[in-house]
Amino acid sequence: MIVRIAGEGQYRFPGALLDHLKELDRKIVEAVANEDVDEFHKLYEQMVSQVKSQGKPVAHDEIVESEIILPPSDITFKEAKNLFVRSDPLRG
């Protein structure tokens, strides 16, 4: 599966690890709903880190469609409130 981190690139991410990303997503949505800024940043950093460490970068000259698009690593909490409560990257 291809995961894009906006502004950073695409990664071939093992589908077998998708459940862990979904669990992080669930926790991120909860943190945002609870206005827990610190927890949101901690969890989102974990999500991005997992994609980068477990995925393999797609070459810049290779054109492939992303199945999941994550916001940039430096997303603000205000921006996250618009993405992770009602419509987040892993839910479409």
Tens of pLDDT, residues 9-37: 999 999 899 999 999 999 999 999 999 99
Amino acid 85: pLDDT:
66
Cβ atoms within 10 Å of 54's Cβ, excluding its own: 16
Cβ atoms within 10 Å of 51's Cβ, excluding its own: 20
Q: Give the confidence band of 90 by pLDDT, cuts at 50, 70, 90.
A: low
Q: Give the confidence band of 66 by pLDDT, cuts at 50, 70, 90.
A: very high
CA angle 84, 10, 53 (to 5 degrees): 85
Amino acid 6: pLDDT:
96
Query: Percent of the chain at pLDDT above 90?
Result: 85
Q: Give the confidence band of 75 by pLDDT, cuts at 50, 70, 90.
A: very high
Domain boundaries, the chain: 2-83
